[in-house]
């Protein structure tokens, strides 16, 4: 997953309705694929509604995240404080991110390297949320 503004699904729906845009236009704005005046306005609206930036950075060699990890065999749960939770389904190779108990994103076909990159970016997100 590349740099993007993360929002709960309910907030995305509200922005779609309020601004009368399609899902593709909103996605392109939130993922910085376009930089039109409308895209900038949609990003500003996302930030006003609590959106946070996921940086999409690559973890440096040797990076070890400081997270609380538990597993029930198939599902690995990683907590970054109380507000950021990552669920990894090992059987389906799928990751889901929750912030403040709201489903923010899901990604499939996650490799070990990609998992580390996600955790590295979430570390920065966690620090911003708790500053």
pLDDT in tens, 51-63: 888 887 888 888 8
Q: Does the pLDDT value for residue 75 go beyond 90?
A: yes
In percent, how much of the chain has pLDDT > 90?
Answer: 38
| Cα radius of gyration (the chain) | 15
Q: What is the mean pLDDT of residues 3-22?
A: 92
Integer Cα distance of 80 and 36 in angstroms: 34
Confidence of residue 23 (pLDDT cuts 50, 70, 90): very high
pLDDT of res. 129:
67
Please give the DSSP secondary-structure letter assigned to residue 73: S
Beta carbons of 130 and 39 less than 8 angstroms apart: no
Q: What is the mean pLDDT of residues 18-38?
A: 95
Beta carbons of 108 and 119 less than 8 angstroms apart: no
Higher pLDDT, 82 or 85: 85
Q: What are phi and psi of 113, to 5 degrees?
A: -60, -45
Integer Cα distance of 113 and 5 in angstroms: 22
pLDDT of res. 25:
95
């Amino acid at each position: 997953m590349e740099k993007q503004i993360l929002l709960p699904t309910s907030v995305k729906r509200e922005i779609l309705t309020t601004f009368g845009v399609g899902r593709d236009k909103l996605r392109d704005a939130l993922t910085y694929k376009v930089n039109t005046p409308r895209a900038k306005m949609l990003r500003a609206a996302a930030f006003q509604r609590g959106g946070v930036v996921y940086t999409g950075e690559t973890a440096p060699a040797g990076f070890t995240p400081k997270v609380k990890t538990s597993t029930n065999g198939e599902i690995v749960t990683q907590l970054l404080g109380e507000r950021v939770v990552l669920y990894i389904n090992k059987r389906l190779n799928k990751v889901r991110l929750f912030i403040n108990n709201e489903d923010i994103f899901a990604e499939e076909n996650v490799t070990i390297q990609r998992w580390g990159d996600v955790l590295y970016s979430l570390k920065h997100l966690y620090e911003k949320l708790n500053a």
